[in-house]
Amino acid sequence: MKRRICVVTGSRAEYGLLKWVMSGVQASDSLELQLVVTGTHLSPEFGLTYQEIERDGFVIDRKLEMLLSSDTGQGVAKSMGLCLLGFADILHDLNPDLMLVLGDRYEILAATSAALVSRIPVAHLHGGEKTEGAFDDAIRHAVSKMSHLHFVAAEEYRVRVIQLGEAPEKIYLVGGLGVDSIKRTQLLGKEELEQAIDFRFGKKNLMVTFHPETLGGRSSAEQMQALLDALALRQDISVIFSLPNADNDGRVMSQLIEAHVARFPNAKAYKSLGQQNYLSTLQFVDGVLGNSSSGLLEAPSFNIGTINVGERQGGRLRAASVIDCEPTEAAISAAIEQLYSQVFISSLSSVQNPYGDGGAANKIVSILESVNLDGLLKKSFVDL
């Protein structure tokens, strides 16, 4: 009898990392893929990205609508409640042998909470990381404590999960899944990509993804405006915006971006580029600007620079290609100047991605096939 692995995905970015693990589970002779799609995947506002999952050949076993049309703290908390209610029934119906989740989104916290009380073991991917400028940081560690197997991207993160009291023999260092996505995705050429996304690259190009900094001192709108003001001074740079995710204040940030794009013909915004288009775009831009994890996990593998704005990714491992700056117009403008300096450009050819060189998905699937699940639910806190 095949081992039932229930994979949960709630956002475009998370799916981009999970895709090749899901493909491996689907192809396995000893594993059965169960797929639950929730969160922004099902929202027209965020591009109905569940359709991309289906186009990739996956059968979605359950779709869970849980997003309210609100990005306030109250609205997000209510969405979490709806997600928890939905997973109570989903997990009862699917009865998986193991639930597989990635990262730190609030819908993942709700799904994992439901698995905990349903006595379903959980495998957590990309635990042990830090993002000190967002409440995602606390969610990630909470999910790790409710999980039973851990697949981490770097040695530093393995040590941190041990610090949380987890058993070292249940923590597997597999590397970053973002590197896997790059190596295994068939990237488009420039002309094909320009046609696919209806965009013409200029002599200078930037990918911009800026999400709400949910624990920051300055408002997300203020930080977004500072970034846009800096870009308004650089009409020589063509800009591709990937709109923010469904976090607190995400909608007001999207409105600011859309107003900027309406004013400046060198900029264009997308609800969701899709994984293939997004990774293909990284081949042809000079750098990534914003505070997305992609600037740290994936951009270094393309030997391009990253301007990491603010504190959202504070504490994460970063390559030498990452320029950290404050969320002010002056600081962002200075960082853009540094990105285009000859000294910085010359340094990019020797950049190493701290998240490894691929193979994480195969390692994870192999462990899922062979690991003993008997007695996994009962954990002991491991003191240092």
**Whether residues 110 and 202 fall in one domain:** no
**For position 71, what pLDDT does the model report?**
73
DSSP string, 134-165: STHHHHHHHHHHT-SEEEESSHHHHHHHHHTT
**Whether residues 157 and 222 fall in one domain:** no
**Whether residues 135 and 255 fall in one domain:** no
**Whether residues 152 and 204 fall in one domain:** no
Mean pLDDT, the chain, integer: 93
> Listing from the earlier edge strand, what are the strands of the sheet with 287-290?
267-270, 237-242, 204-209, 287-290, 305-309, 322-325
Q: Residue 22 corresponds to which tokens in the numbers above? A: 């899901």
- Say whether pLDDT at 249 is over 80: no
Count of domains observed in the chain = 2
**87 within 8 A of 110, measured Cβ to Cβ:** yes
| CATH code of the domain covering residue 258 | 3.40.50.2000
Per the domain annotation, does 104 fall within a domain? Answer: yes
Report pTM: 0.83
Residues whose CB is less than 8 angstroms from the CB of residue 344 and which lie 6 or more positions away in sequence, other chains included: 305, 323, 338
- Say whether pLDDT at 287 is over 80: yes
Region of poorest pLDDT, from 44-53, 86-95, 140-149, 221-230: 44-53
**Whether residues 19 and 150 fall in one domain:** yes
> Listing from the earlier edge strand, what are the strands of the sheet with 171-173?
62-64, 31-38, 3-9, 98-102, 122-125, 149-152, 171-173
Strand partners, 314: none
Long-range contacts of 225-230 (CB under 8 A, 24+ apart): 225/256, 226/327, 226/328, 226/329, 226/332, 227/289, 227/290, 227/309, 227/327, 227/329, 227/332, 228/256, 228/257, 228/260, 229/329, 230/329, 230/332, 230/333, 230/336
The more confidently predicted of residues 145 and 244 is: 145
Per the domain annotation, does 382 fall within a domain? Answer: no
Band (246; pLDDT cuts 50, 70, 90): low
| Other beta carbons less than 10 A from residue 164's beta carbon | 17
| Interval 73-87 mean pLDDT | 92
Report d(CA 142, CA 147) in Å as an integer.
Answer: 9
Q: Which of 72-76, 111-115, 176-180 has the highest mean pLDDT?
A: 111-115
Angle value at C-alpha 275, between 271 and 277, nearest 5 degrees: 80
**Whether residues 151 and 47 fall in one domain:** yes
Per the domain annotation, does 182 fall within a domain? Answer: no
pLDDT in tens, 23-58: 999 999 999 999 999 998 998 887 888 999 999 999
Its domain, for residue 219, covers 190-350
Per the domain annotation, does 381 fall within a domain? Answer: no
**For position 250, what pLDDT does the model report?**
76
Band (248; pLDDT cuts 50, 70, 90): low
Return the DSSP state at 58: P
**Whether residues 220 and 319 fall in one domain:** yes
**Whether residues 146 and 9 fall in one domain:** yes
The gap from C-alpha 106 to its chain's centroid, in whole angstroms, comes to 13
